[in-house]
Amino acid sequence: MRRVIGPFSAAFACCISVGAIAAPMGFKGSWMAMGDFSPNWREGFVNYALTAKEAVGPSVVYMRSDDKTKTRELAEVAYTRLIKRWNLPHAQGNVWFIGGVGTLSGNDFSGTRTMVTPGVQVDYETTRFYISAFGRLYRAEGINHDYAAARLGFSFFEAHYDEVQPWAVLEVRRMRGLSDTTEVTPMLRLIHNRYFVEAGVNNFKQIRFNFMYTF
């Protein structure tokens, strides 16, 4: 087992790990690109960190119902803000606001509708353990696709700043109006100081692939 030596190094590694696993934005002046891909859900966004606590950028989402009869496409401008952070000796906790406004199209209605998407993410992480809960409203005229997800993860070993660290992650999520069942996905995640990639297969036997890169 490899360990980070010294309290400063441990705290620094923890912040890096938190940024890679939990944060929906990077450090001030950075760009972040992130994607989440599966047959029923595809999301991509890019944001720019205006300050150490807030970021803004475009986001696109494709949603499909479990029975494949309904589809939705959302293009929005999303805003992210760090509401609260707790820096502990060997851990970190955060509360984030994530929301946007955009246009929604679908195969069961004509034209487009304005959709608003306010949400909150709460997370806690050490260098070996991670837990988060996320809820977001997807609301337009006559449409309610509220979304909730929870994640639990652990690392196989502690790693130095310039090393790749593997994590096992379990995600549970559900969206109102498009799914009657809860999606459960175990994933393997590989984290470096500026990126992560993860892949898994959900309980519908569908492949999930996600990535994040900060530059």
Q: Where are the beta strands (DSSP E) in the chain?
A: 31-37, 41-49, 54-64, 71-88, 91-106, 109-116, 119-125, 129-136, 139-140, 143-144, 147-155, 165-175, 183-191, 195-201, 207-214
Burial (CB count within 10 angstroms: exposed 0-12, middle 13-18, buried 19+), residue 110 = exposed
Nearest to 170 by CA among 188, 152, 182: 152
> So what's the pLDDT on residue 22?
64
Amino acid (one-letter) located at 175: M
Q: Which one is the CATH code of 7-214: 1.20.1280.290, 3.20.20.140, 2.40.160.40, 2.30.30.100?
A: 2.40.160.40
Phi, psi at residue 14, to the nearest 5°?
Answer: -65, -45
> So what's the pLDDT on residue 8?
35
Nearest to 184 by CA among 152, 211, 154, 156: 152
Give the chain's radius of gyration (CA, Å): 18
Q: Copy the structure tokens of residue 24.
A: 């929906």
**Is 100:119 a contact under the CB 8 Å cutoff?**
no
Q: Copy the structure tokens of residue 155.
A: 């690392």
> So what's the pLDDT on residue 21?
57
Residue-by-residue pLDDT tens, the chain, 215 positions = 333 433 333 443 444 444 445 689 999 999 999 999 999 999 999 999 999 999 999 999 999 999 999 999 999 999 999 999 999 988 999 999 999 999 999 999 999 999 999 999 999 999 889 999 999 999 999 999 999 999 999 998 877 777 889 999 999 999 999 988 999 999 999 998 889 999 999 999 999 999 999 99
> So what's the pLDDT on residue 159?
76
